[in-house]
């Protein structure tokens, strides 16, 4: 069990550029979640996958955001035309059955 892995750890991008983050969950976990955490706040739910199916999306996930989980393994979160308000920590978590989540270390995005 190597835990949940997220890459990159840090990303600095210019406003208007596209960015993509990757999450590798714990291999036997079929559920994968993305959260966003802004400075001084708790994480907020963005979206959820069961295997390869994206089953729920938060209203926080605007049409500039897209997430995929091909083949039910790793997942990617893409942000198009980044804005300064997108600057945050993006956290991925995975779980199986209903046990508590395991979170990754996150990707910190800074839009300049």
Partner 1 sequence: AQKVTQAQTEISVVEKEDVTLDCVYETRDTTYYLFWYKQPPSGELVFLIRRNSFDEQNEISGRYSWNFQKSTSSFNFTITASQVVDSAVYFCALSEAVIQGAQKLVFGQGTRLTINP
Give the interface with partner 1 as residue ranges (CB under 8 A).
Answer: 31, 33, 35, 40-45, 48, 50, 55-56, 89, 91, 93, 95, 97-106, 108
Distance between start and end Cα atoms, the chain = 36
Is the CB of 15 or the CB of 44 nearer to partner 1? 44
Least separation in angstroms between residue 93's CB and partner 1 is 8
Is the CB of 22 or the CB of 108 nearer to partner 1? 108
Least separation in angstroms between residue 85's CB and partner 1 is 19
H-run or E-run covering 77:
strand 75-79
Is the CB of 80 or the CB of 101 nearer to partner 1? 101
Annotate 21-49 with b (16+ C-beta within 10 A) or e (fewer). Answer: bebbbbeebebbbbbbeeeeeebeebbbb
Is the CB of 45 or the CB of 80 nearer to partner 1? 45
CA atoms within 13 A on the CB side of 97: 1
């Amino acid at each position: 069990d190597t835990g949940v892995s997220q890459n990159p750890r840090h990303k600095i991008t210019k406003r208007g550029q596209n960015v993509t983050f990757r999450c590798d969950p714990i291999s036997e976990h079929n559920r994968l979640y993305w959260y966003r955490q802004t400075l001084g706040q708790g994480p907020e739910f963005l979206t959820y996958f069961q295997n390869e199916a994206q089953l729920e999306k938060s209203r926080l996930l605007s049409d500039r955001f897209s997430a995929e989980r091909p083949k039910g393994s790793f997942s990617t979160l893409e942000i198009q035309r980044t804005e300064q308000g997108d600057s945050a920590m993006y956290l991925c978590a995975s779980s199986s059955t209903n046990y508590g989540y395991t979170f990754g270390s996150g990707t910190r995005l800074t839009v300049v």
